[in-house]
Amino acid sequence: MPRRAFLTIVLGAVVLGSGLAAGPAARAEDRFITVQSTTSTEQSGLFGHILPLFTKKTGIEVRVVAVGTGQAIKNAMNGDGDVLLCHARPDEEKFVAEGWGVQRFDVMYNDFVLVGPKDDPAHVEGGKDAAEAMKKIADARAPFVSRGDDSGTHKAELKLWQAAGVDARAASGTWYRETGSGMGPTLNTAAAMSAYTLADRGTWLSFENRGPLAILVEGDPRLFNQYGVILVNPARHPNVKAELGQKFVDWLIGPEGQAAIASYKIAGEPLFFPNAKPSAS
């Protein structure tokens, strides 16, 4: 056999063999999903607690993009994720209604808290009406730090200002400051400025740099904070890993995922309360 022909056969066999050997490994490496989610689920430590449990059971790695809810929804609409997990129910339901998501499920809830300096210049401590507290802050022109990032927390804050009859954004740059960043950095800014801010309880409980800050207002039903999970619609984006993504959704709203959420606590206090239902909303 001519040497050139022999080398061609050998090289072909090597390439074929390499391809067969790499096949299972490549498929194993492809067993991951991307979850578009909020900063609160990441910065509270929840994902760090529950995702290893899911991966151990299924072999599916979960890669989280933690941004504000508004940006997470936009990213999912662009097909840059397989699953959406956030906390702005009207926007989530719109996401599904417009065909970007398959089905929405309740996952868990906690609440928002109004935190501020312990000397409380606006005198809101102990109140149960969050909108009234916001009005007092505005009337006192006391420093307030907003996330300003179209996140679920920011959306909730804007609803409270609206209920209070205050156009806080018109005061931007004076007593009202917008960070355009996540909950952790916003809390850091509020601590540095001895300012008020609205935070989700999960991130607050895991936040260590509290400085002069304390919870001043809590318990208003308007501070209820529901989270939902949605599989991104593969009919809109064929790159969506629908099977793997659905496994994550099913686990999250199933007994094991719900138990994992309930088991995440700091100093004995749960950060989130599972409340998945058998059917979607």
Torsion angle, CA of 154/156/245/51, rounded to 10 degrees? 80
pLDDT at 272 exceeding the cut of 80: yes
- Poorest-confidence range of 72-86, 192-206, 266-280? 266-280
- pLDDT for 103 equals 97
State mean pLDDT over 17-43.
70
Token code pair at residue 139:
């009337």
Least confident of 30-44, 101-115, 222-236: 30-44
SS3 97: helix
Cα–Cα dist 49/34, whole Å = 17
Mean pLDDT in residue range 11-36: 57
- Inter-residue contact 58 to 247 (CB < 8 Å): yes
Mean pLDDT score of the chain? 90
With bands split at pLDDT 50, 70 and 90, how would you rate the model's confidence at 29? Answer: low
Domain positions in the chain = 31-110+225-274, 111-223
Res 117: pLDDT: 98
Q: How confident is the model at residue 18 (pLDDT cuts 50, 70, 90)?
A: very low
Topology, domain 111-223: D-Maltodextrin-Binding Protein; domain 2 (3.40.190)
The yes-or-no verdict on residue 31 having pLDDT over 70 is yes
Residue 279: pLDDT band (50, 70, 90) is low
| Predicted pLDDT of residue 277 | 86
Q: Is the pTM of this model over 0.95?
A: no
Q: What is the pLDDT of residue 26?
A: 39
Strand, coil or helix: 59: coil
Angle at 253 between CA 247 and CA 256, to 5 degrees: 85
Least confident of 76-80, 199-203, 247-251: 199-203
Contact 57, 254 (CB under 8 A): no
Determine what percent of the chain is predicted with pLDDT higher than 70: 88
Q: Looking at the predicted structure, is the pLDDT value of residue 25 above 90? A: no
208: Cβ–Cβ under 8 A, 6 or more apart, which residues? none
What whole-number distance in Å separates Cα of residue 73 and Cα of residue 67? 10
In this prediction, residue 10 has a pLDDT band, given cuts at 50, 70 and 90, of: very low
- Return the CATH superfamily for domain 31-110+225-274: Periplasmic binding protein-like II (3.40.190.10)
Give 167-217 as a DSSP string. Answer: -GGGGBTTTEEE--S-HHHHHHHHHHHT-BEEEEHHHHHH----TTEEEEE
- State residue 278's pLDDT score: 63
Res 27: pLDDT: 57
CA 31 to chain centre: 22
Query: Model confidence over 38-90: pLDDT tens digits?
Result: 988 998 999 999 999 999 999 999 999 999 899 999 999 999 999 999 999 99
111-223 shares the fold of 31-110+225-274 = yes
Most distant CA atoms of the chain, gap in Å: 95
User: For residue 98, what pLDDT is reported?
Assistant: 98
| Whether the predicted pLDDT of 199 surpasses 60 | yes
Question: At 148, phi and psi to the nearest 5?
Answer: 60, 30
